[in-house]
Amino acid sequence: MAWIKAFHIIFMVTWFAGLFYLPRLFVYHSDPELAESARARFTVMERRLFALMTIGGAATVIFGLWLLVAWFWPPPLWLQIKLVLVCGLIAYHVYLGYLVGDLHRQPTRRPPRFYRWLNELPSLFLIAIVLLAVLRPDSWG
């Protein structure tokens, strides 16, 4: 089981690297002063990064489900809360995928500030998820 847990963590790090970096690319891509050739380059970079982070996210979920069934069934309260947060993170991931296409069609639809704020969300998810997984608050006592 330690191998499964290790791969779960490895793919989670891969996924979060993309979740942190993709919105930063959006900040640059949405700059109204950006040359068209640079915009095309950002489109390619965003699509490739989204594909890689999707693989990382899918593998994170697969290994996480494996751990859930093997170790934590029925799931304790801390894990139920963590799973809700992971579902929120998956929704955020899907929204980033929508934005990849939207930026290609309408690069200046939203200001760079929007993407700067969007870039902060995965940090909140990461902090909450790691604290729940490490501290397991319902097992205190």
Domain boundaries, the chain: 2-139
Say whether the peptide bond before residue 111 is cis (omega within 30 degrees of 0): no
Q: Which residue is associated with the tokens 């859930």?
A: 68
pLDDT tens readout for residues 74-131: 888 899 999 999 999 999 999 999 999 999 999 999 999 999 999 999 999 999 999 9
Instruction: Please state, rounded to an integer, the average pLDDT across all residues of the chain.
Output: 94
Residue 66 has pLDDT above 60, yes or no: yes
**How much is the pLDDT for 25?**
97
Distances in Å between the Cα of 8 and the Cα atoms of 30, 58, 61, 134 are 33, 10, 8, 14
Q: Which residues contact 47 (CB under 8 A, 6 or more apart)?
A: 100
Cα-Cα end-to-end distance for the chain: 27
Give the pair of three-digit tokens for residue 39: 């915009």
pTM of the model: 0.93
**How much is the pLDDT for 13?**
97
The span from the CA of 119 to the CA of 30, in Å, is: 14
**How much is the pLDDT for 141?**
47
Indicate the length of the chain as a whole number.
Answer: 141
Rg of the chain over all Cα atoms, to the nearest angstrom: 17
Is the model more confident about 70 or about 92?
A: 92
Q: Which residue is associated with the tokens 């699509």?
A: 47
Q: What average pLDDT does range 58-77 have in this prediction?
A: 91
Percent of the chain with pLDDT over 90: 89
Is the model more confident about 120 or about 137?
A: 120
Q: What average pLDDT does range 22-32 have in this prediction?
A: 96
Residue 139 has pLDDT above 70, yes or no: no
Give the pair of three-digit tokens for residue 15: 């996924």
The span from the CA of 2 to the CA of 25, in Å, is: 35
